[in-house]
Amino acid sequence: MADCPRAAASCAGIDEVLRAEGLAYSYGKDAVWDDVSFALGAGQVAFLEGPNGAGKSTLLRCLAGWNAVERGEMLLCGERFRGTNRAQRAQIAFVPDVPAFYDDLTAAEHIRFMLSANHVPVEGSRAELLMEEFGLAAHAGHLPSSFSRGMRQKLALVLAFAIQPRLLLLDEPYGPLDRDSSVVLSRLIAEARECGAAALVSCHHDVPALNPEVLFRLEDGSLRAVERG
């Protein structure tokens, strides 16, 4: 059983972590997607697939509160979520397809800053262990600008999992990772699931050692659940 020191990961007894109802988003006059509706329960992992340009990254950014939808409603742990409430945003960890870092902070300083911002004690946090598991411990004092793409992805994942959020939104997280690190990521998602977190993972690649409860496909402006064979 996974270690779950932060009880917040279970949404305080609420079975549904995320609900989207009738979401719509457009670039100018061109609709990206329309009437997107789905729900993720506590301890549920969903994969999000679809062709390039279907709007998967945009959907994840909207769900994280980074972009505003034109229409529709989102509920996070039963409460309306618009992306402006800092307490609610602290319950979400979003790793975009190209993570960004501060130019003048080392990897270790990023971790301390992230933990402090999310009111997670630095002492006794999971961050040190996560750095070791992803092979980054020896690089903690280096700037992320000196990292390879795969190393930057690993650091972004360390920051996401260290705060033990209620909702994980991961945009193509496996793409830059080597096989061993991909297996580590799958195990971390599975452990988060055991702790009651929900995860929505956009992926084009084969995912090792992780089976989702739900598979969503975003295509031609609509989202649908796909039967898993």
Q: Enter the tokens of residue 169.
A: 């939104």
Residue 92 lies in a domain: yes
What average pLDDT is seen over the chain?
93
Our count of domains for the chain comes to 1
Half-sphere exposure of 56 (CA within 13 A, CB side): 24
Mean pLDDT of all residues in 1-6: 61
Q: Which two tokens stand for residue 180?
A: 């061993």
Q: Is the pLDDT of residue 7 over 50?
A: no
Backbone angles phi, psi at 185, to 5 degrees: -60, -45
Say whether pTM exceeds 0.85: yes
Strands of 53-196 (E only): list them.
71-76, 79-80, 92-95, 167-171
CATH number at residue 197: 3.40.50.300
Residue 187 placed within a domain: yes
The model's pLDDT over 102-158, given as tens digits with 9 standing for 90+, comes to 999 999 999 999 999 988 998 888 999 999 999 999 999 999 999 999 999 999 999
Q: Residue 12's pLDDT band (boundaries 50, 70, 90)? A: low
Domain that holds residue 83: 8-102+165-225
Give the DSSP H/E element, type plus range, for residue 111. Answer: helix 107-117
Cβ-Cβ contacts under 8 Å for 8 (sequence gap 6 or more): 91, 164, 166
Percent residues over pLDDT 70 in the chain = 94
In a domain, 33, yes or no: yes
Q: Which two three-digit tokens encode residue 154?
A: 């690993």
Does residue 147 fall inside a structural domain?
A: no
Tell me which of 50-54, 58-62, 86-90, 94-98 is least confident. 86-90
Residue 140: inside a domain: no
- What's the mean pLDDT in 20-49? 95
Q: Is the residue at 171 inside a domain?
A: yes
Would residue 186 count as lying in a domain? Answer: yes
**Does residue 129 form part of some domain?**
no
